[in-house]
Structure 1
Amino acid sequence: MRQALTYQIAGQLDEAAAAYQEVLAQAPSTHDALHMAGAIELTRGNLDKAERLITAAMAVRPSYNAIEHNLRLVHDAKFAALLSKTEDLCERALPILGEFALARGKPHMNSISAEGATSLKKPIHLIGRLDAGESEQSLRRIADLVAPHEPTVWCVGDGIVESAHARNMRRVDAMVGAMPRGGTHVYVGVDYNCASWIDRADADRVIVFCGSAAPSFYIEQLRALARDGSRAIELVFPSQAMAARFGRGHHVLPPPFGVDPHAERVVADVPMQESDARTERSIGVIGQARDSVADATDVDLLRALAGAGPLRIYDPGRLRYSLGTNARVRFIPRRRDGIAEFVARTTCFVHRAATWWTEPAHQELFAAMAASIPVLCPSSSIFAEYIDDGVDGMFYVTDAECVAKVTDLMREPTRAVEMGRAARTKAMRLFDLQQLSRRYAALLCGDRVEPAVAPPSSAELVLER
């Protein structure tokens, strides 16, 4: 048992599994061996085998917290796998929804600025959820960008909206009839329930800023907003790659990300040999969502990255259980406005993406660029179009390629600094306050807004998943 645990702590899972099997061959009811062997199979993604082993350990030693916890992880992982199959089917329906249900009665696109100016005389209602996350950040930022047009901000949920410029802030309360009516309704995200009032919220025009959400949720929410096709709605996406998932003819705008023009990366020009706690070279990644389960390939990638240099994981979630014994991994808890400080202390930032709808929010990727940090991004990412490979960041296809490129950057700090500077220059251009304000105002005018970056290749749009 001692040797098996030593192998497991060192990440030598094959050797550890074999050692546990030797223990079980001699003593089949050894609960620690059953439990640890099950934990290894969970890490490998062999969920049925993991469930059998951990359930057997529970039978030998019931009411043991660690065993109960890992059994819950197995059940969560099996549910996530089932849900993923459902989402794959729903994803295929998104272009159909976009082409037929949403596009019936195409929204009018003004081509004359005077007409656009007239449309801005109608009231503008911004609707969003307050969750201290991506949705709230986007809602606040859009409210500030279009503040000259005096939008009314409608809050869905119990949080409090505070914006320096939005004068009218109200809470949706269907019970008393408090809801947006008339004018332009701008929904920021779709991750909230509006079923109790959407049929009474009449609008001259409906715009939806699309963020992170599962395809099944998009189908449900967009059908409700479009009233099953009886009301035309316009979709706005943060990238062309994401827009392509929903068919043709949608708006693409850079996300409402804010860059401080005076905030430079403090350690960018400090010689790497003079590293201290503030300037230590490290690799930054974002942890997994709290409702997801760490799979084997993801954990293996992070272990390999830790081998290339000290690894900092922001908001680690359940990754603490898989990587907590690794001395080269440091976990940073999530806090409000903490991402800027996190990325500023890294040498490079690794953006990870599985399916597009589970891809981490764009805030972290753009925060790294704004902080003069080069980003390593999967070429299949919905945000890959914002990276110039080899100039202000790097693309990777496989985990092995990612680790190799990170290793090279850690060995070539001058190159990392040069890429970081190019990344910040791009971020300053993309998220210039005046430019963004004009583009968002143009959208509200009814103008067709063109993408700010070159489109990805058609092959990537069709083939990458």
Structure 2
Amino acid sequence: MPLAGHAPAAGRKPRVHLVNPMLNPSGGSEWRTISLYRQLEPAADVRIWHFREAPSDAFSNVRLSRIDTRKLSFPRGGTLVFVGVYFNISHWIRLARPRRVILTYNTPDAERLAAKVDLIRKTCGLEPEIVFCSRELAEQVPYKGVVELSLVDLDAFTPSDRSGRTGFRLGRLSRDAPEKHHPEDMTLYAELAQQGCEVDILGATVEMQTAPLATSSANVHMRPLGSVKAPEFLHGLDCFFYRTSPLWAEPWGRVIIEAMASGLPVVTDRTSGASSVIEHGRNGLLFDTTQEAFDLVMRLKTDSALRESLGKAARETAENLLSAGVRAQVQAFYLHPRAPS
């Protein structure tokens, strides 16, 4: 068996196992897994592993393998990548015998990260490498690692021609978990609708879908998760709005980068990790309060030139963040590990 850290035999593609439950059709970890798979697949023998639960139908176009210890079906050897630390790792890890183990830390839970690091040390005899989804998250824990943005497909998320549009549509996309929505947002949406804005929320909770605002206002659309594909949804917007509940610290916010890649002006609060790539007034707009958010959206509604300039700069930012050079660095990290010092 090749020693830890050594490259595979000449002519053989490196083996990479990506592990994630793959349950949520708009989950950031799930789409990080898919994006990483697509980046590595041309140069590696890469496979995505999920657990007992059936994966979301949104990932039916990607071949997934199910971890089933009864059938001795689980990752073996190669590089083992856990995309997230929020799910449990069962006893199969003791038999996996990987060369490398990489933990993607993209949800703020220092206790779970520490537990996973300890588990890998005890079961695999390896020091796991840590990938952080943002610099802010990396600074919160006592581990060293690399910061790696979630790769967004710039060919799927593209600007659309909005020059001939009438009206103004603000939209938001996220998981439908309550903590992903700010408690003041429904009031904000109501005020925007009264001012002639169309509000379109993809990933609304059941409570939001059945709220009086959703059932009584023709300008407000509360859509269930997965009812439309993200690129198509973003193409129909004039502005992207995003913030989460104060109870959820958004470590990055992949959807913000998807919106920027789609050439949309983004209005977001300063708490998400992805807000760090927005320069207020150049490639997006930042706010601290609900009133500031309302004022910024209304400014965009009446200023098409501002929408266009922000959207153009947003696309350029996304292209720089996800350039060919950045993608090559990501691929090199997973496929060509540095020799131990």
Same fold, TM-score > 0.5, yes or no: yes
Aligned residues: 324
Give secondary structure in 2 for the equivalent of 1:190: coil
For residues 249-294 of structure 1, what are the alpha-carbon distances to aligned partners after superposition, in whole Å with 9 as ceiling and x for unaligned? 2211121211117943132x22x5xx1xxxx311112367345597
Q: Could you tell me whether the CA contact under 8 Å between 1:190 and 1:213 is conserved in 2? A: no
For residues 17-57 of structure 1, what are the alpha-carbon distances to aligned partners after superposition, in whole Å with 9 as ceiling and x for unaligned? xxxxxxxxxxxxxxxxxxxxxxxxxxxxxxxxxxxxxxxxx
Q: Could you tell me whether the CA contact under 8 Å between 2:81 and 2:103 is conserved in 1? A: yes
Q: Which structure shows the higher helix fraction?
A: 1
Give secondary structure in 1 for the equivalent of 2:268: strand
Q: Corresponding residue for 2:36?
A: 142
Shift of 1:248: 5.0
Q: Corresponding residue for 1:173?
A: 68
2:15 matches 1:126: no
Q: Where do 5+ consecutive residues of structure 2 fail to align?
A: none
Q: Could you tell me whether the CA contact under 8 Å between 2:106 and 2:137 is conserved in 1? A: no
Distance in 1 (alpha carbons) for counterparts of 2:338 and 2:274: 24
Q: Corresponding residue for 1:258?
A: 153
2:335 matches 1:441: no
Q: Corresponding residue for 1:302?
A: 189
Q: Could you tell me whether the CA contact under 8 Å between 2:130 and 2:143 is conserved in 1? A: no
Q: Could you tell me whether the CA contact under 8 Å between 2:67 and 2:73 is conserved in 1? A: yes
Distance in 1 (alpha carbons) for counterparts of 2:281 and 2:263: 15
Q: Which structure shows the higher strand fraction?
A: 2
Q: Corresponding residue for 1:320?
A: 209
Distance in 2 (alpha carbons) for counterparts of 1:137 and 1:337: 16
2:81 matches 1:186: yes
Q: Could you tell me whether the CA contact under 8 Å between 1:285 and 1:349 is conserved in 2? A: yes
What root-mean-square deviation, in Å, do the aligned CA atoms of Structure 1 and Structure 2 show? 3.4
Code of the aligned partner of 2:332: A
2:261 matches 1:370: yes
Judged with a 3 Å threshold, the aligned counterparts in structure 2 of structure 1 residues 199 and 336 are, in CA distance, closer, same or farther, namely: farther
2:302 matches 1:411: yes
Distance in 2 (alpha carbons) for counterparts of 1:203 and 1:355: 39
Equivalence map 1:134-283=2 (5 Å): 134=27, 135-147=29-41, 148-157=43-52, 158-159=54-55, 170-212=65-107, 214=109, 217-227=112-122, 231-247=126-142, 249-260=144-155, 263-267=158-162, 269-270=163-164, 275=166, 280-283=167-170
Q: Corresponding residue for 1:14?
A: none
Distance in 2 (alpha carbons) for counterparts of 1:207 and 1:356: 28
Distance in 2 (alpha carbons) for counterparts of 1:227 and 1:289: 36
Shift of 1:221: 4.3
Shift of 1:373: 0.4
Q: Corresponding residue for 1:334?
A: 225
Q: Where do 5+ consecutive residues of structure 1 fail to align?
A: 1-107, 449-465
Query: What TM-score, normalized by structure 2, do the two folds share?
Result: 0.81
Q: Could you tell me whether the CA contact under 8 Å between 1:283 and 1:311 is conserved in 2? A: yes
Distance in 2 (alpha carbons) for counterparts of 1:181 and 1:287: 34
Shift of 1:348: 1.2
Distance in 1 (alpha carbons) for counterparts of 2:272 and 2:231: 22
Q: Whose radius of gyration is greater, 1 or 2?
A: 1
Query: What TM-score, normalized by structure 1, do the two folds share?
Result: 0.61
